[in-house]
Every structure is written in structure tokens, then in C-alpha cells.
Amino acid sequence: MINVTAAVTVREDRTAEFEQAVAAARPAMLVDEGCTRWDLQRVSGSQVDYVLLEEYADGDALRRHGSSAEFNAFGEVLKDLVAGPPVISVLRPVGEQSQ
Amino acid sequence: MINVTAAVTVREDRTAEFEQAVAAARPAMLVDEGCTRWDLQRVSGSQVDYVLLEEYADGDALRRHGSSAEFNAFGEVLKDLVAGPPVISVLRPVGEQSQ
């Protein structure tokens, strides 16, 4: 499994729109069976800092996601809503994993 | 569920020790049923940047973890191995979740 975290700061006046945009995009992201998690989180204590917890079956699934029309369309929507570019971390498991 | 990410940069000469310290501490962290995930990841493309993906059943489980002897002992071990303090993000789910 490949976990990915995407941390983003949303413009203060656009958080509701951002959450709706993620909810709207989510089903299409999960259509690809290789995308096993695409869960939005907000950082505790913040109104504008969010993290998407993502998980992919393998590198191919991650590449498919990154080149999908849905992902690109979501990127376009995000441009107006975020205060800066997301910080994406692609993670490699080290040692025993629960998931 | 409460997800937590703990991002840490390890001293270049101590990564093997760090990975062993996490592996050694992990079983005790998972003894508490409320701790449902404590998975070490390394950031792709880096030799020194790691993220612990953690998950807790609820706030009580997270508090138990944070005040446990195992957690404090692990913190002591970390002091010599890391290049700086971990960046901890306690996350609140927003919308539909896969896990």
C-alpha cells in the first residue's frame, strides 16, 4: 500500500466550498479500485488547515490517479479555494503495518 | 476515529536506530485497543523524513496514548535520534470516510 498525505491551507472565506468540492470529487476518485482511501481531515484547532489521507494499492494506481481527468478537474477547482499549493507527501511503509 | 500524523526528520546517521526504536515501541503502543494504527512511513525520495500514521478510536484513547509510560519512554529515545521536534497533526474527519 502507498499512503499519501496532501496538506493544504484553504482561504478563510472558502472552507465550506472546499469541503463541498472534496465531497463532490471523492466518489469519482474512489471509482478506481486502486484508490483505497481518500478521506478529508481538518487539523484540530484550525479552521483552514486540512489534510487528505489517501491510500493506493500500488504505484500504478497512484499514477492513474495523478493523471486522471477527475484529479485534474479537482485541481482546477482547488485553485480558487486554497491559500497556497498543497504539500504532497508520498509515503513508503517501513516495518510492520496495521493497514 | 481520530487520525494523527507525526512528521519527523531523523539525523542522517541515526535512521537505522530510529526505525529499530519505532519497531521496538510499536507493539506496546498497540496494546491499547484504542490505538488502531501506528504505522511508520518514510517520505518517498527522502532518507531522513518520516511520518507516523496513527489512528485512535476516540479522544480518550489518544489521551491515554499521550500519557502512557511507553509513549514517554519512546520520547526519551527519540531525543538523540531526531534532527528536530516532530510535527504532530491531530486530525478531525470531514465528510465521508473510508476508514
Question: Does the residue A82 lie in any domain?
Answer: yes
Binary contact (B40, A5; C-beta < 8 A): no
**How confident is the model over A28-47, as a mean pLDDT?**
96
Query: Does a structural domain hold residue B15?
Result: yes
pLDDT, one tens digit per residue, over A57-73 is: 999 999 999 999 999 99
ipTM of the complex, rounded to two decimals: 0.93
Residue B62's domain comprises 2-91
The verdict on residue A96 lying in a domain is no
Which of A4, A17, A29, A91 to mutate to test binding with chain B, by most B CBs within 10 Å of its CB?
A91
Nearest to A64 by CA among A22, A11, A28, A39: A28
What does the pLDDT look like over B52-90, one tens digit per residue? 999 999 999 999 999 999 999 999 999 999 999 999 999
B-interface mutation test, from A1, A18, A30, A53, most B Cβ less than 10 A away: A53
Please state the domain count of chain A: 1
Asked whether residue B99 is assigned to any structural domain, the reply reads: no
pLDDT at A95: 97
Q: Could you tell me if B44 and A4 are in contact, meaning their C-beta atoms sit under 8 angstroms apart? A: no
Percent helix / strand / coil, chain B, rounded to 5: 40, 35, 25
Residue ranges of B 37-96 with Cβ closer than 8 A to chain A: 37-45, 49-51, 53, 55, 89-96
Please report whether residue B67 resides in a domain: yes
Torsional class of A64: left (φ above 0), alpha (ψ -120 to 50), beta (otherwise): alpha
| B37 beta partners | B55
pLDDT for the residue numbered A12:
97
Report the pLDDT averaged over residues B35-46: 97
In a domain, B96, yes or no: no
Bridge-based pairing state of the strands A87-93 and A35-43: unpaired
Residue A36, domain member (yes or no): yes
- 10 Å CB burial of residue A8 (0-12, 13-18, 19+) is buried
CATH number for the domain that contains residue A28: 3.30.70.100
Residue A98 domain flag: no
- The pLDDT of residue A39 is 98
For range A7-33, the mean pLDDT: 97
